[in-house]
A and B are shown apart, each in its own frame.
Chain A
Amino acid sequence: MNLHEYQGKEILASHGVRIQRGIVANTASEAVAAAKDLTAETGTGWHVIKAQVHAGGRGKGGGVKLAKNLQEVEEIAGQIIGMNLVTPQTSAEGKLVRKVLVAEDVYYPGDSETSEFYMSVLLNRGTGKNMIMYSTEGGMEIEVVAEKTPHLIFTEEIDPSVGLQGFQARRIAFNLGLSGTAFKEMVKFVSALYTAYVKSDSSLFEINPVLKTSDDKILAVDAKVTIDDNALFRHKDIEEMRDVTEENPIEVEAKAVGLNYVDLDGNVGCMVNGAGLAMATMDLIKQAGGEPANFLDVGGTADAKRVEEAFRIILKDENVKAILINIFGGIVRCDRVAQGVVDAYKNMGDAINVPIIVRLQGTNAEVAKELIDNSGLAVHSAVMFQEAADKVKEVLA
């Protein structure tokens, strides 16, 4: 589950990570009030107005701006709230901004130069351990750093039986070229950050930039936080932070009925049991000359009700020109799935107005094919995987 910057920062701060402070606002006038409160609390003169959407590269799209007085706060917040923010990580239409974070200015002048670092915490799938990845090159995309100056990216792997050790936090601070107060602050920052990661059952923390201020404080200016979905059952408070308006509405609906659905741009919908077979089916659709409109795993119990729900979800996408159902019956009996298709078709009446190709293989596949063929419905049936692909090609032609 992805969080907004302000939510991620809340989690960080609750574990003692120093953050760039801010107050969230839904309207321009709330932004002004937030700015006043923030000045009272932090003494900040200027304010940074930051669009809160689930996408990176917000600054590039004009979603992060500096306001030097309250009038500018109101103007900028007014511009950003309600805009469709287009960033390198959004679609061409962009994402509607519903709220902004009014944040303190942390780039104030002082005794030393400010500097920006990159830091993330994530799983190293190869070793089965968490690692902290960090770089002196903060404020830029880490992919670009990895490509141009890979020697400036460091990693520190954490032994799960003992957790992050002091020498590791010190090594990170040394490698970032810090000394004195800033060094001590960084050691504290890293330890608190790792604690926050573990305690929140996160699967990704990306703090870019981590800032050394002109008075040698270390703080998180941004926070990208992703929580492990499988661990949400033990974090009800975090689960409540879910912002469904940031998610694809069809995906939200599918999730509510227990279907694993990912919306895609193509024209052929698919309904498959098993994630691997679902991906393989999408690939086959493409090879047959179509483009997959979705990923949909109906799981192990593909009965009439589930098939009908899956049909309704797939048909919400207006680009769908055909639907391929691909079920490998093991424990699931194909004739029951076939009956599900027939029932759903009858229940939904004219709602299904695109050709359907059903490929059922495995337990009772032949009986299932007969059931479909004798139903009188405009459904193309197939038994072999290749046959299904050929039928897709046929109906698209």
Chain B
Amino acid sequence: MSVLVNKDSKIIVQGFTGSEGTFHAGQMIDYGTNVVGGVTPGKGGQEHLGKPVFNTVQEAVEKAGADTTIIFVPPAFAADAIMEAADAGIKVIITITEGIPVADMIKAFNYIKGKDCRLIGPNCPGVITPGEAKVGIMPGFVFKAGEVGIVSKSGTLTYEAADQVVRQGLGITTAIGIGGDPIIGTTTKEAVELLMNDDATKCIVMIGEIGGNLEADAARWVKETGNKKPVVGFIAGETAPKGRTMGHAGAIVGGADDTAEAKKAIMKECGIHVVDSPAEIGKKVAEVLS
């Protein structure tokens, strides 16, 4: 079992023929991901990387049965691409694009609310179910199949965590990069909930960072629902100064509640196994699973 994406997902790439889209779609196909085509307005009817190109997402849904999309569209047009996917009935919308204006995301986020779809990202590395589907920009070889679910706001820190888990002789069910923007489609709590309900996942790694209160919300939910599975947590940015954006647009300490210390304290209270050192994520997972 796994969540969000698997070998049967019918995946399209929005921004298919651009340089980013081309490179990563190629990597995804090489990994064995079921890419059924891509969308680039105006290039419909062509073939790219051996897959059909469509003018609209709707056409990709009708002709290729697409149910999942990965978006590499440039920031100025990405919110539009998200709304187009939702309108066409795509169920899982994974948005890699970094740098989308907040005002655009407010529109897209509220537009898709009532629709039967889930947005992952933006500004995220994507989602991977090892051995089945890589719908993202992560290095596939780091992720081996196994029993640990990962939820993270960060790209390379997800790879780091996965690598540490694999070195302990364990593996990953699904790793979900939820993204580092102020507005993201799937919260930490929602991603943790997906993994909590996945039978194959025995332990969850939750990686957060300064800013906002997504990790605290997730921790409280874990406690309220009876700590059904062990959760290992890490929060990056203990040394980040207040009021400065640390790379990710959402990674900024605003008040007393969204510092690394405050988040870790709440997580500990809620029974999360918090590690202070990012080098000890894998070790802690092995410990709680033994």
A-chain residues with CB within 8 Å of residue B255 when the two chains form the complex: 143
Interface residues of B in 236-276 (CB under 8 A from A): 236-241, 244-251, 255, 260, 276
Q: Beyond A198-B103, A230-B249, A287-B277, is A279–B160 a contact (Cβ under 8 Å)?
A: no
B-chain residues with CB within 8 Å of residue A86 when the two chains form the complex: none
The answer to whether A279 and B244 touch across the interface, beta carbons within 8 angstroms, is: no
- Smallest CB-CB separation from B234: which chain A residue? A280
The answer to whether B101 and A276 touch across the interface, beta carbons within 8 angstroms, is: no
B278 at the interface (CB under 8 A from A): yes
Chain A proximity of B258: nearest CB distance (Å): 9
B-chain residues with CB within 8 Å of residue A292 when the two chains form the complex: 239
A316-332 vs B, Cβ < 8 Å mask (1 yes, 0 no):
00000000000011110
Q: Beyond A279-B251, A385-B160, is A160–B139 a contact (Cβ under 8 Å)?
A: no
B106 at the interface (CB under 8 A from A): yes
B100 at the interface (CB under 8 A from A): yes
A272-309 vs B, Cβ < 8 Å mask (1 yes, 0 no):
11111111111111110001100101000000000000
B246 is contacted by which of A201, A278, A329 (Cβ under 8 Å)? A278
- The docked-state distance in angstroms from the alpha carbon of A361 to that of B160 is 8
A162-205 vs B, Cβ < 8 Å mask (1 yes, 0 no):
00000000000000000000000000000000000010010100
B-chain residues with CB within 8 Å of residue A231 when the two chains form the complex: 101-104
- The docked-state distance in angstroms from the alpha carbon of A273 to that of B156 is 7
The answer to whether B102 and A228 touch across the interface, beta carbons within 8 angstroms, is: yes
A-chain residues with CB within 8 Å of residue B150 when the two chains form the complex: none
- The docked-state distance in angstroms from the alpha carbon of A176 to that of B230 is 48
B-chain residues with CB within 8 Å of residue A201 when the two chains form the complex: 101-103
A362 at the interface (CB under 8 A from B): yes
The answer to whether A280 and B159 touch across the interface, beta carbons within 8 angstroms, is: no
The answer to whether A328 and B278 touch across the interface, beta carbons within 8 angstroms, is: no
B99-137 vs A, Cβ < 8 Å mask (1 yes, 0 no):
111111111011000000000000000000000000001
Interface size class on chain A is: 35 or more
The answer to whether A385 and B153 touch across the interface, beta carbons within 8 angstroms, is: no
- The docked-state distance in angstroms from the alpha carbon of A233 to that of B99 is 11
The answer to whether A286 and B239 touch across the interface, beta carbons within 8 angstroms, is: yes
Q: Beyond A160-B110, A295-B240, is A276–B279 a contact (Cβ under 8 Å)?
A: no
The answer to whether A287 and B106 touch across the interface, beta carbons within 8 angstroms, is: no
The answer to whether A262 and B244 touch across the interface, beta carbons within 8 angstroms, is: yes
B-chain residues with CB within 8 Å of residue A264 when the two chains form the complex: 239, 241
The answer to whether B209 and A123 touch across the interface, beta carbons within 8 angstroms, is: no
- Smallest CB-CB separation from A387: which chain B residue? B279
Chain A proximity of B176: nearest CB distance (Å): 14
The answer to whether A260 and B247 touch across the interface, beta carbons within 8 angstroms, is: yes
Number of interchain pairs (Cβ within 8 Å): 166
A363 at the interface (CB under 8 A from B): yes
- The docked-state distance in angstroms from the alpha carbon of A385 to that of B156 is 13
B-chain residues with CB within 8 Å of residue A126 when the two chains form the complex: 212-213
The answer to whether B180 and A230 touch across the interface, beta carbons within 8 angstroms, is: no
The answer to whether B236 and A362 touch across the interface, beta carbons within 8 angstroms, is: no
B-chain residues with CB within 8 Å of residue A230 when the two chains form the complex: 75, 99-102, 249
B-chain residues with CB within 8 Å of residue A208 when the two chains form the complex: none
The answer to whether A386 and B279 touch across the interface, beta carbons within 8 angstroms, is: yes
The answer to whether A328 and B156 touch across the interface, beta carbons within 8 angstroms, is: yes
- Smallest CB-CB separation from A328: which chain B residue? B156
The answer to whether A280 and B236 touch across the interface, beta carbons within 8 angstroms, is: yes
Chain B proximity of A294: nearest CB distance (Å): 11
The answer to whether B142 and A330 touch across the interface, beta carbons within 8 angstroms, is: yes
B-chain residues with CB within 8 Å of residue A20 when the two chains form the complex: none
- The docked-state distance in angstroms from the alpha carbon of A130 to that of B103 is 9
- The CB with the most chain B CB atoms within 10 A, among A228, A272, A276, A389, is that of A276
Q: Beyond A277-B156, A284-B279, A363-B139, is A262–B246 a contact (Cβ under 8 Å)?
A: yes
A60 at the interface (CB under 8 A from B): no
B170 at the interface (CB under 8 A from A): no
The answer to whether B142 and A362 touch across the interface, beta carbons within 8 angstroms, is: yes
The answer to whether A280 and B160 touch across the interface, beta carbons within 8 angstroms, is: yes
Chain B proximity of A367: nearest CB distance (Å): 15
A376 at the interface (CB under 8 A from B): no
A-chain residues with CB within 8 Å of residue B234 when the two chains form the complex: 280
Chain B proximity of A390: nearest CB distance (Å): 10
Chain B proximity of A171: nearest CB distance (Å): 21
The answer to whether B159 and A330 touch across the interface, beta carbons within 8 angstroms, is: yes
The answer to whether A276 and B238 touch across the interface, beta carbons within 8 angstroms, is: no
B-chain residues with CB within 8 Å of residue A276 when the two chains form the complex: 152-158, 180, 207, 209, 236, 247-248, 251
- The docked-state distance in angstroms from the alpha carbon of A328 to that of B159 is 7
- The docked-state distance in angstroms from the alpha carbon of A275 to that of B139 is 17
- The docked-state distance in angstroms from the alpha carbon of A230 to that of B97 is 12
The answer to whether B163 and A129 touch across the interface, beta carbons within 8 angstroms, is: no
A125 at the interface (CB under 8 A from B): yes
Q: Beyond A128-B109, A274-B155, A276-B248, is A283–B237 a contact (Cβ under 8 Å)?
A: yes
A328 is contacted by which of B103, B105, B160, B250 (Cβ under 8 Å)? B160
A161 at the interface (CB under 8 A from B): yes
- Smallest CB-CB separation from B138: which chain A residue? A330
A384 at the interface (CB under 8 A from B): yes
The answer to whether A128 and B237 touch across the interface, beta carbons within 8 angstroms, is: no
- Smallest CB-CB separation from B154: which chain A residue? A276
A279 is contacted by which of B101, B182, B183, B237 (Cβ under 8 Å)? B237
Interface residues of B in 68-113 (CB under 8 A from A): 75-76, 99-107, 109-110
Q: A264-B241, A280-B278 are in contact. List 5 more A-B contacts (CB 8 A).
A: A230-B101, A274-B156, A276-B154, A297-B247, A362-B163
**What are 6 residue pairs bridging A and B, where the CB atoms are less than 8 Å apart in the complex?**
A125-B183, A126-B212, A203-B102, A228-B101, A275-B154, A275-B180
Ranked nearest first, the 9 interchain pairs of A and B with the lowest CB-CB distance are A276-B154, A275-B247, A274-B156, A330-B139, A276-B157, A231-B101, A280-B278, A279-B236, A385-B279
